[in-house]
Amino acid sequence: MTRQLAIQIGLVCLALACSGCNRKYGTAQLAPAPSKYGTAIVESSGGKQIAAAGTTLPQPVIVQVNDEQGNAVTGAAVQFGGPAGVVFDPQNGITDSSGQLSSNVSLGPQAGRYQISAATITKDKKVVEVKLEEIALGYQQILGRQLNDQYCSRCHDPESTPERVSNYDNLAVKPHPFTEGETLNKMSDEDLAAIIGHGGPALNKSPLMPPYGYTLSKTDIQALISYIRTVSDPPYRVPGIVYAQK
């Protein structure tokens, strides 16, 4: 191989690699040209979903572009964005006949909350966006979710599913779904461990909350607490840390 040919091949490879890395960060991808413009973009569905880190959310994220009157706009451009590691399929597109664009979203490999956004451009070139939050579970929280499905959700989740009839309506004292941060965020990790391990009376609460200290290991209970902290809405904030205001 001549030196020149080698350099040429190298340049082509570099160009390919660069287009690949740009695509990953969503900068090189130009949104398709819009035929219409809206003034606002709203979430239609798909926010606040929970999936294992590095996997695709169970439902697509669907956003809608509206005009000043709140009517859906067909043919408007939408661009999705998110932290490194989040993959959108597609990353951008044009709204359909109901003014919507749907994207399948895979979360990054790290557990935690992912803020993603969808943006559209107005006639006077202003970018408007809507933010959504999704939750990625790590190994410990996935274990917690399994234990929740197995032991807790029949009382703590008011909704019945085809596999499980909720016992919620039969309970004289109502437990809280674990997403209810207003209540659960006020309880310390020690409180949670006490009520899960020793039952309601450990915190002067109803004995309808059974003790799990004989059934579950310490690791299991920690996994449940970690799961409860991860899914709470509003988000749980670790005491002693000062958080920036949004």
- Closer CB to ligand HEC, 101 or 152, in the complex: 152
Among 192, 193, 223, 231, binds ligand HEC (CB under 6 A): 192
Looking at 13-21, 45-53, 118-126, 202-210, which segment touches ligand HEC (CB under 6 A)?
202-210
For tokens 């993959």, what's the residue? 87
**Residue 209 sits in the site that holds ligand HEC (CB under 6 A):** yes
Helical axes 218-231 vs 139-147, angle rounded to 10°: 100
Among 158, 210, 211, 213, binds ligand HEC (CB under 6 A): 210
Q: Which amino acid is at 22?
A: N
The site map against ligand HEC for 136-165 (x = CB under 6 A) is ---------------xx-xxx---------
Helix (H, G, I), strand (E, B) or coil at 194: helix
Among 40, 171, 194, 202, binds ligand HEC (CB under 6 A): 171
The site for ligand HEC (CB under 6 A) is made up of 151-152, 154-156, 167, 171, 173, 175-176, 183-184, 192, 195-196, 200, 205-206, 208-210, 212, 224
